Structure 1
């Protein structure tokens, strides 16, 4: 019978995580004796400055790993996995909810203090029949597609490879981003934050959506040029925006995005706190099972692609 995998869990474990480790037949041990490390905070703060040679795999809690790569934490001496895929359904639900809220003019109506039906009713739109560009058709972007199509929308997917994405009427590469946005009514930004994707959405891309289009960002704030976004929203060049992430983040109290009537802001809460621990535990547990069986791990971090 093979020896159980020895796992260090830092800074501390949770009940769901302890349970899946036990179910996988592994044991929790000190870092110095471990073969694997599961890190249970979302940032590199407090992460060990060096890891024992025996650590062959590190599981991170965060889906976005740009800060980990920038900090030089991720190395090539062992396998590193992110939480990509663990939170996809919850975040996709939030993104589609935000888009519906924009189309139905919830941000505008929520700010009213008097009955404004006649002058604002004409702005209300339906998701049915619209075409949505999913910019970054990874796990979250793909999870958005069945939710959107269930409401009668069509999807144009954008990814690095251009390989067809299930459920999309068309898939384009990121090099053809402007074309994809030109084909769409609205866009959901769901891509990874890298040096190459910084300000991927600028004035030109927002202009492709136009005055009747809406932008939803549930990825990372730096994918969107905030100054260009504010200008488009103020001028009427873009119909509206829903942002769960911003640049800068947290968004300063006096920032113009707070007071624009066509903007909906949620403070980076697309992943419900009550679901985070069990979903991360399930993801880590599946990777632990794969690690023990010598199978490829899910959500492996690629240092060359930087995600």
Structure 2
């Protein structure tokens, strides 16, 4: 294990908590860093522990010299309180946002196609029941709520379908592949002729419950919803009402509110609804991708390039 990049202050000493995946340590070492247990020399922290923000808070209090913290997930809502408390503390905070965009976008596309082709009903039929129901994705109007890496990757996957794409995000800055971009103020208007609505946004105070009664009322009859972001962005009661009335043509949910979704919850049997248990990005997909993020950010930590996935502590993602 090299120590050539570590100066007298322990600048390159990085702790991984919990250190259960050897590829993460390999990524640090290959990038020029040194992996050691937490100590007064620790300057970088890769947090992979299943423990929540309280445990991380205790670690930061015990080792105040830590100047860079790498969080393991694309969404950081589980650490929202801690991030607010540490805004302005001088540390660099990075997440995995963007790292898992490919697998998640692929899952979102799968859910949308399954809904449009009536798969929830067909796979449960148990008998040959021919009908002419089913729609194509080609040429549809797609609304993507969120403007991050998943949306960018999803727009790339949607290119062969010739969709018209509208992105709804915090700002109206253009997103590659989208026909237009509007701010969240324009959500209801954007939904007025949407065929498919993808939810890919981060969960913040501003996005919590934003797909609710008004949003469902704005969608045309038969529109379908896919949520691969966070369950609480969608109002579950409003979703059930929209599905039950037949106004919403279907819902594909990799995330739910509550989560895990309890047995016998009405979403399990709601018409034209697919629930997958937060598996759009499994460990087999994410571990190598997160190792790549760790390696690139270790190099940035050592002064070679810029950090990726930097968290905006004020915005909450």
- TM-score, scaled relative to structure 2: 0.91
* 1:191 corresponds to 2:205: no
CA distance in 2, matches of 1:279, 1:153: 29
Report the CA distance between 1:149 and its aligned residue.
Answer: 1.7
Report the CA distance between 1:189 and its aligned residue.
Answer: 0.3
Aligned positions of 1:98-247 closer than 5 A: 98-118=111-131, 122-247=132-257
Report the CA distance between 1:71 and its aligned residue.
Answer: 4.8
Report the CA distance between 1:176 and its aligned residue.
Answer: 0.5
Counterpart selection for 1:30 from 29, 34, 37: 37
Gaps of 5+ in 2: none
Q: Aligned with 2:107: secondary structure?
A: helix
Report the CA distance between 1:151 and its aligned residue.
Answer: 2.4
Counterpart selection for 1:47 from 44, 56, 69: 56
- 1:89-119 deviation digits (Å, cap 9, x = unpaired): 110100011001101111110111111112x
Gaps of 5+ in 1: none
Counterpart selection for 1:277 from 268, 273, 287: 287
C-alpha change, 1:57 and 1:202, in structure 2 (3 Å) is: same
Q: Aligned with 2:278: secondary structure?
A: coil
Contact 2:5/2:33, CA 8 A, preserved across alignment: no
Report the CA distance between 1:66 and its aligned residue.
Answer: 1.3
Counterpart selection for 1:3 from 1, 6, 9: 6
4+ runs of 1 displaced by more than 6 Å? none
Deviates more, 1:74-83 or 1:191-200: 74-83
* 1:60 corresponds to 2:71: yes
Report the CA distance between 1:53 and its aligned residue.
Answer: 2.4
Report the CA distance between 1:190 and its aligned residue.
Answer: 0.4
Contact 1:210/1:239, CA 8 A, preserved across alignment: no
Aligned residues: 304
